[in-house]
């Protein structure tokens, strides 16, 4: 049979109908606007613009090369792409070339006269003969009349696109995690230095109090108060050092490798150039920006294609096996025109009784489609909540930090005045020590608020989808 005779069937397969239902994405199950109006006017910046600290930039760049979660996501995307090739191969003809030699013996009663055959050895009543073959084979090619293979191809494609969006989501998560860990490490480091400086001041005060107590010019209460402050500062220092070591370990884990020795000098928390106000746009913008929402959308499209494949399984499958080649008893004349051979074996398989398997598969595909819809809607709701939380934080942390910084200034003024009054004999030493303790606590609180403000900006950046130097697979 000529190969060209197969072309009508191949054309028919290419124009096969589809059983995949038309997909309409659900409306976003969130409000049309955020509870707190965005205050930023610029778009979401690229991550190098978002995080201007050169030390943090180096760490983020290192994490994008070394983080194991990102490597796993990239490998998952590669696996999904390979699965596309595997699935598409099932929709194309499988051609192969075969060559062989067969020798056999048949009884004379079966072969008949045995013209041209060689009698068997030992005078046995039978004949032996050999045959050389060479042929091209089309193996079990399914003609996709009802779109089953096409639906499976679509499902594999959308799962690959979902894996690409998942890789973007992991990349954005890694950037945010490194920034969070870096801010936590900076907070711990500055708290250690603040505690060390405070401890040094309080030790000096304790030495003076001891000398005054020995001279009868300071009470035992004042001495006990000074010793208590030093003890508390020592305890705080041990806690801060522990927190700094743990924060450094967390940063190393987030980066995926130890920090290089030649990192730029860090920028202090109060001077961090991280923009606090970001333009959030509208909730509908998240549908095109958040990689986790795009990932959920692609998973929904894949589940919808699975429904089409399950529907098509109810219809007959038509497959074709064919071969064209040459067969001859002698190798030297194998490719002569008279030795041409061919075979053509179309087949059709129609399901009649499968004990409810096909209907169960269809119902399972539909349920998984409903799960994918709910997952998509939940991703939108989660994104809306995260952005709303970030906007609320952006609107309030500025006021909180300003008030806390003013509280620090007032505490420092009180401590300075209390010291002057104490030296003039107009205030007790206990009042001066209490003012110093209040100043120390206010400074610690200011560092914590600043770190929380910066962390909320990082969270908002991540909630808005960020700019991670990759284009959406949408």
Identify the pLDDT of residue 296. Answer: 94
Q: Which domain, by its residues, includes 453?
A: 3-104+128-463
Q: How confident is the model at residue 333 (pLDDT cuts 50, 70, 90)?
A: low
| Helix (H/G/I), strand (E/B), else coil: 247 | helix
Identify the pLDDT of residue 119. Answer: 57
Helices (H), 2-116: 7-14, 47-50, 54-66, 68-89, 108-111
**Percent of the chain with pLDDT strictly greater than 70:** 86
Comparing CA positions, the residue from 126, 184, 208 lying closest to residue 451 is 184
Comparing CA positions, the residue from 2, 9, 7 lying closest to residue 348 is 9
Burial degree of 59 (CB within 10 A; 0-12, 13-18, 19+): buried
Total domains in the fold of the chain: 1
Residue 2: is its pLDDT beyond 60? no
> From the CB of residue 457, how many other CB atoms can be counted at a distance below 10 Å?
24
- Residues in contact with 74: Cβ distance below 8 Å, sequence separation at least 6, in sequence order: 167
Residue 471: is its pLDDT beyond 50? no
Comparing CA positions, the residue from 8, 20, 41, 5 lying closest to residue 277 is 41
CATH number, domain of 447, equals 1.20.1600.10
Q: How confident is the model at residue 108 (pLDDT cuts 50, 70, 90)?
A: low
Q: How confident is the model at residue 254 (pLDDT cuts 50, 70, 90)?
A: very high
Average pLDDT over residues 135-144: 73
121: in domain: no
Q: Do residues 318 and 16 lie in contact, with contact meaning Cβ atoms separated by under 8 Å?
A: no
118: in domain: no
Residue-wise pLDDT for 391-406, tens only, equals 999 889 999 999 999 9
Identify the pLDDT of residue 327. Answer: 74
- According to DSSP, the residues that pair with 323 across neighbouring strands are 137, 343
Q: How confident is the model at residue 110 (pLDDT cuts 50, 70, 90)?
A: low
Average pLDDT over residues 70-78: 86
The owner of tokens 């908002």 is 460
**What letters, b where the CB count within 10 A reaches 16 and e where it falls short, cover 295-325?**
bbbbbbbbbbbbbbbbbbbbeebbebebbbb
122: in domain: no
114: in domain: no
469: in domain: no
Output the CA–CA distances (angstroms, integers) from residue 345 to 8, 92, 313, in the order listed: 16, 17, 22
Q: How far is CA 190 from the centre of its chain?
A: 33
Residue 176: is its pLDDT beyond 60? yes
Identify the pLDDT of residue 468. Answer: 57
44: in domain: yes
Residue 22: is its pLDDT beyond 60? yes
């Amino acid at each position: 049979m000529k190969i060209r005779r197969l072309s009508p069937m191949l054309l028919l397969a290419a124009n096969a109908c589809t059983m995949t239902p038309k997909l309409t994405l659900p409306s976003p199950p969130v409000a049309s606007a955020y509870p707190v109006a965005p205050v930023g006017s610029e778009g979401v910046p690229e991550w190098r613009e978002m995080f201007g600290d050169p030390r943090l930039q180096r760490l983020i760049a290192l994490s994008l090369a070394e983080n194991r979660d990102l490597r796993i996501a990239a490998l998952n995307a590669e696996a999904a792409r390979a699965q596309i090739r595997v699935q598409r191969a099932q929709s194309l003809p499988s051609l192969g070339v075969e060559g062989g030699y067969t020798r056999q013996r048949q009884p004379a009663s079966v072969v008949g006269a045995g013209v041209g055959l060689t009698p068997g050895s030992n005078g046995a009543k039978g004949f032996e003969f050999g045959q050389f073959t060479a042929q091209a084979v089309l193996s079990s090619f399914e003609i996709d009349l009802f779109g089953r293979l096409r639906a499976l191809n679509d499902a594999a494609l959308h799962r690959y696109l979902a894996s690409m969006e998942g890789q973007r989501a992991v990349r954005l998560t890694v950037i945010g995690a490194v920034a969070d860990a870096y801010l936590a490490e900076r907070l711990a480091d500055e708290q250690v230095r603040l505690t060390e400086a405070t401890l040094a001041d309080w030790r000096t005060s304790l030495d003076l109090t001891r000398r005054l107590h020995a001279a009868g010019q300071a009470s035992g209460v004042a001495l006990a108060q000074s010793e208590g402050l030093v003890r508390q500062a020592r305890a705080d220092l041990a806690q801060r050092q522990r927190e700094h070591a743990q924060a450094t370990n967390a940063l190393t884990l987030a980066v995926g490798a130890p920090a290089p020795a030649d990192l730029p000098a860090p920028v202090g928390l109060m001077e961090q150039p991280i923009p606090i106000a970001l333009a959030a746009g509208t909730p509908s913008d998240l549908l095109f920006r958040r990689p986790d929402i795009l990932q959920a959308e692609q998973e929904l499209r894949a589940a919808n294609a699975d429904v089409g494949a399950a529907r098509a399984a109810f219809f007959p499958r038509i497959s074709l096996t064919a071969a064209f080649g040459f067969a001859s008893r002698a190798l030297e004349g194998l490719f002569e025109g008279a030795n041409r051979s061919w075979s053509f074996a179309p087949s059709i398989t129609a399901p009649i009784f499968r004990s409810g398997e096909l209907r169960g598969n269809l119902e399972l595909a539909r349920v998984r489609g409903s799960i994918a819809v709910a997952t998509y809607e939940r991703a939108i709701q989660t994104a809306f909540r995260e952005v709303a939380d970030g906007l609320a934080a952006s609107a309030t942390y500025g006021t909180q930090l300003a008030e806390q910084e003013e509280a620090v200034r007032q505490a420092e003024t009180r401590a300075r005045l209390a010291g002057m009054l104490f030296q003039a004999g107009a205030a007790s030493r206990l009042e001066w020590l209490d003012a110093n303790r209040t100043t120390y606590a206010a400074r610690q609180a200011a560092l914590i608020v600043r770190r929380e403000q910066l962390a909320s900006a990082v969270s908002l950046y991540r909630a808005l989808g960020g700019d991670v130097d990759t284009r959406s697979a949408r």
